[in-house]
Amino acid sequence: MKRNYYLISLLVCIAACTPNSEPSQNSSTPNAEEEPSQLSMTSYPRLKQLARSAPVADTKPHQEEHHGITLSDPYHWLKDQGYPEVDDKEVLNYLKAENEYYYEFLKPHQPLADAVFEEFKGRTDETEESVPYQDNGYEYRWFYREGEEYRTRSRKNLATGEEQVFLDETELAKGHDYFVLGGWSISPDNQLLAYSFDTSGDERYQVKIKNLATGEHLQDELADVQGSVEFSADGTSLVYALLEPNRWLSKNIKAHKIGSSQDQDSTLYYEKDDGFFIGFGLTSSKEYFLFVSTQGEVQESYAQRADLSGEPVQLVPRSAGFQQTIDHAHGHFYILANDTHKNSRLIRVSDKAPTMDRWQTLQEGSDENYLLNIQTFDSFFVLESRVNGLEQMEILEYPGGADELTRRSIKFPETVFSVGLGVNPEFNQKHLRLSYESMITPDTVFDYDIVNQTLENRKVQKVPSGYNKNDYETERIMVTARDGASVPVTLVYRKGFKRDGSQPMWLYGYGAYAATISPSFSTLRLSALDRGFSYAVAHVRGGAMMGYQWYLDGKLEKRENTFNDFVDVANGLIKMNYARAGNISISGRSAGGELMGAAVLQAPELWRSVNLGVPFVDVLNTMLDASLPLTPPEWKEWGNPIESADDFKLIQSYSPYDNIGAREYPPMFVSGGLNDPRVTYWEPAKWTAKMRALKTDENLLVMRINMGAGHFANSGRYGRLKDYAEEYAFMFLAHGIDK
């Protein structure tokens, strides 16, 4: 089971693509020979405020005292006090006014947004289908029907050859403005399908169970489910995590007996501490469920027989104070644990007595080799790692006695790439399915033959409108931060890119929760590259590109390293003539939106435009609100300003919302979702209201609040593409590109 990170934001990179068009002739990029290397904000044309007056949010006195410090928040009222119900007319009227202002901006530029959307759509394989995989006597695949937004899932009986559609997401989505499939599971006897879905964006999933022989649904229906569902080994029960009433926090892992009502469900595991997130999953051997509770760097793990017999057995107590990634095979648990080294060691222990004092170390931790994930199979197991920031996949044989591990690394065609385990459901399969891509290589499915040690290309992402990877270049460079740290940066651009600072740049960052932005392909991004942009990812501290310590060096009292790294990367790229100050657009989502807020406050003169997606910018107030279910578990990431005066002062010193001052800022695009349980709607709303009141420039600030969605924008592949097309159009217009 993979490490249970709960991310306030992990919809990293807005990955996307567009047709091969030359940079617009209307681009206002200055001539490199005529302009100085540092440019003021007024050196470029900007998106200006609309003729119509922008919405002005009322200010209402609100003060709180913490640790003898008075905290004033005149926009506190934008949080509906009846939340999670949002029905305050004054709040809704303000959000409506902001949306009207946004669409007034968009109206004359709709042709550009539509053109970008058509580029996106032209690169979308309308009838895409997956590579089939086999599991328990059936071959499974998914596919899109032409023009449909959602997948259709089918399976073929390997004995009879009969194929059956078992899950039609398009049909399920009918009548809903928003639809997302959560998880699904088929019973061991292949007779029942359980699936979860969300129709509001609030991530409170419903579950239905379908008889696959008759096509009829059982009377069983579950509500307030976290998302994942899994049948027990005997197929008589369904395992799920139950969300608390009116709270986006699970404290119970439940077992639902098929044919009974939800209120009769038994509890398999209960988490008494609101500060811990819980999750569950099956081991690859399908012999055990794993239950995990996680808070920051601490994880507690239990194993429960997959038939739900007996009681859960504790594998690691939370008092041990470290994280684990666990799988199982042949009577042993295989564990990656960062107890003796932050980059983790590899351990095994008998499932008969899996206590920590019986652990056997198979591979010690290493400063260079960051162990990321493990999956077990019948005759081998796999280790995913990152060596000096570069991804690696190794095949290992099970050890006999005290013998050293026999291993081999899989060789891939590029140096800088992203690779991960694909769909590998069968314990006894003789191949390993992998998902591979790079900044210039479309998503590729490989099957690695374990015996012959060869890679078979099973699928390459199609780009119907055309794509030639030879038209683009990618590279990895290092930039020195102000404290001497070397920060990796991955770049991609169209061939012929001029390193004279004359072309626009799009810089992306995230930097939290040890989440790493891997060098991945994006069809959407081509729309920027083909208009002359370079695209760069700053792998700042707070992520884990350079190992787990890289993450630790960007959290709590070291949080500002993340912000400084991002600004220092921009300045480094300017010094190396990849871009010029004032000609860089930046974007980030969720915790990456917090990074955008901090970057725009620290160095507004560097940015041409800023995209703050569902931004976690009101850090102090959120961490002070223990009633929010996601707050207590986050104290280990950001600090607890309720109990600690030092934490209060630290967060107050960098919280973007609290540090907006009266000065000039670049154009900004802010987005949010009314039903977002992760970054609540009032964070982007309060940022926009306060920024609009204090900024002294006339640069455009718009906010788009999706009134029927949550953290992940619109649902359906085309709905999301339309959102992204509008965001791209904003960035292009900021650079004077209107085609």
From the list 250, 301, 590, 671, the catalytic residue is 590
Is there a single domain that holds both residue 679 and residue 728? yes
Per the structure, the complete domain to which residue 252 belongs is given by 160-316
Flag whether 79 is in a domain: yes
- Res 713: pLDDT: 53
% pLDDT > 70, the chain: 92
pLDDT of the residue at 716? 66
User: Predicted confidence band at 123 (pLDDT cuts at 50, 70, 90)?
Assistant: very high
pLDDT at 451: 93
Give residue for tokens 């709960």.
Answer: 6
pLDDT at 269: 97
Going by pLDDT thresholds of 50, 70 and 90, the confidence category of residue 448 is very high
Triad 202, 203, 204: Cα angle to 5°: 95
Tens-place pLDDT, residues 83-116: 888 999 999 999 999 999 999 999 999 999 999 9
Residue 213 has pLDDT above 70, yes or no: yes
- pLDDT score of 15: 29
Residue at a domain's end among 407, 436, 462: 462
pLDDT tops 90 at residue 12: no
Mean pLDDT for the stretch of residues 61-90: 95
pLDDT per position as a tens digit, 524-548: 999 999 999 999 999 999 999 999 9
Report helix, strand or coil for 82: coil
> Quick one: 525 and 424 in the same domain?
no
Query: Domain check: are 269 and 381 in the same one?
Result: no
In this predicted model, which residue has the larger pLDDT, 551 or 32? 551
**Is position 43 annotated as part of the catalytic site?**
no
Give dist(CA 257, CA 244) in Å, integer: 20
List pLDDT tens digits, range 681-722.
999 999 999 999 999 999 999 999 988 654 545 556 788 899
Question: How far apart, in whole angstroms, are the C-alpha atoms of residue 489 and residue 481?
Answer: 12
Cα distances (Å, whole numbers) of residue 150 to 10, 83, 112, 186, 614? 21, 31, 26, 20, 24
Burial 670-702 (b: 16+ CB within 10 A, else e): bbbbbbbbbbbbbbbbbbbbbbbeebebebbbb
Q: In what order do the strands lie in the sheet with 288-295?
A: 277-282, 288-295, 298-305, 313-316
CB crowding 706-727: b at 16 or more within 10 Å, else e: beebbbbbbbbbbbbbbbbbbb
Question: What is the residue type of 369?
Answer: N
Residue 667 inside a domain? The answer is yes
Confidence at residue 35, expressed as pLDDT on a 0 to 100 scale: 32
Give domain status of residue 706, yes or no: yes
- 622-648: per-residue pLDDT in tens? 999 998 878 998 999 999 999 999 999
| DSSP 8-state secondary structure symbol assigned to residue 216 | P
> Strands, DSSP E only, in 174-215?
180-186, 192-198, 205-211
Tell me: do 170 and 252 sit in the same domain: yes
Residues 328, 476, single domain; the answer is: no
Instruction: Verify whether residue 176 is a known catalytic residue.
Output: no
Q: Are strands 163-168 and 534-538 parallel, antiparallel or unpaired?
A: unpaired
3-state secondary structure (DSSP) of residue 723: helix
311 and 326 together in one domain: no
Instruction: Determine, yes or no, domain membership for 213.
Output: yes
Mean pLDDT score, 264-271: 97
CA dihedral of 654, 658, 664, 665, whole degrees rounded to 10: 70
Instruction: Give the C-alpha distances (Å, rounded to integers) separating 725 from 113, 362, 487, 508, 655.
Output: 5, 49, 30, 17, 29
- Residue pair 145/153 in contact (Cβ under 8 Å)? The answer is no
> Could you report the per-residue pLDDT of 16-53, keeping only the tens digit for each?
232 233 223 233 332 332 332 333 344 455 688 887 78
Query: Does 9 have pLDDT greater than 70?
Result: no
Residue predicted with more confidence, 434 or 399: 434
For position 26, what pLDDT does the model report?
Answer: 30
Chain centroid to CA 367: 26
Q: How far apart are CA 505 and CA 606, in angstroms?
A: 11
Euclidean distance between CA atoms 108 and 551, whole angstroms:
43
Q: The tokens of 673 are what?
A: 């979702």
Q: Look over the chain and give the mean of its residue pLDDT values, rounded to a whole number.
A: 91
Structure tokens belonging to residue 722: 């339309």
- Identified catalytic residue from 332, 431, 711, 735: 711
Q: 41 vs 621, which has greater pLDDT?
A: 621
348 pairs with which residues across the strands?
Answer: 334, 360
Active-site option among 443, 553, 676, 723: 676
Quick one: 439 and 536 in the same domain?
Answer: no
Of the listed ranges 8-17, 124-133, 491-500, 621-630, the least confidently predicted one is 8-17
**Residue after which a domain boundary falls, among 276, 301, 316:** 316
In total, how many domains does the chain have? 3
User: Is residue 521 domain-resident?
Assistant: yes
Residue pair 221/233 in contact by the 8 Å Cβ criterion: no
SS3 622: helix
Closest among 428, 465, 731, 397 to 587, alpha carbons compared? 731
pLDDT of amino acid 245: 85
* Claim to verify: residue 292 and residue 400 sit in the same structural domain: no
The confidence score (pLDDT) of residue 591 equals 95
- The pLDDT of residue 271 is above 90: yes
What value does the mean pLDDT take over residues 355-361?
Answer: 97
Give the ranges where 272-378 is alpha helix by DSSP (H): none
Q: What is the pLDDT of residue 402?
A: 55
Residue 445 and residue 589 in one domain: no
pLDDT for res 719: 82
The CA distance from 573 to 535, in Å, is 11
CATH value at residue 417: 2.130.10.120
Percent of the chain with pLDDT over 90: 84
Residue 147 in domain:
no
- Specify the pLDDT at position 708: 63
Q: Which two tokens stand for residue 656?
A: 């973007």
Same domain, 559 and 682: yes
Is a pLDDT exceeding 60 seen at residue 593? yes
Same domain, residue pair 231 and 295? yes
Look at residues 301, 316, 331 and tell me which one is the last residue of a structural domain: 316
pLDDT at 30: 29
Q: How confident is the model at residue 10 (pLDDT cuts 50, 70, 90)?
A: very low
Residues 326 and 349: beta-carbon distance below 8 Å: no
Q: Give the per-residue pLDDT at 403.
A: 59
Answer yes or no: is 150 within a domain: no
The answer to whether residue 34 sits within a structural domain is no
**How many other CB atoms sit within 10 Å of the CB of residue 131?**
13
Active site residue 256: no
Other C-beta atoms within 10 Å of 497: how many? Answer: 18
What pLDDT was estimated at residue 63?
Answer: 97
Is pLDDT of 248 > 80? no
> Are residue 416 and residue 505 in the same domain, yes or no?
no
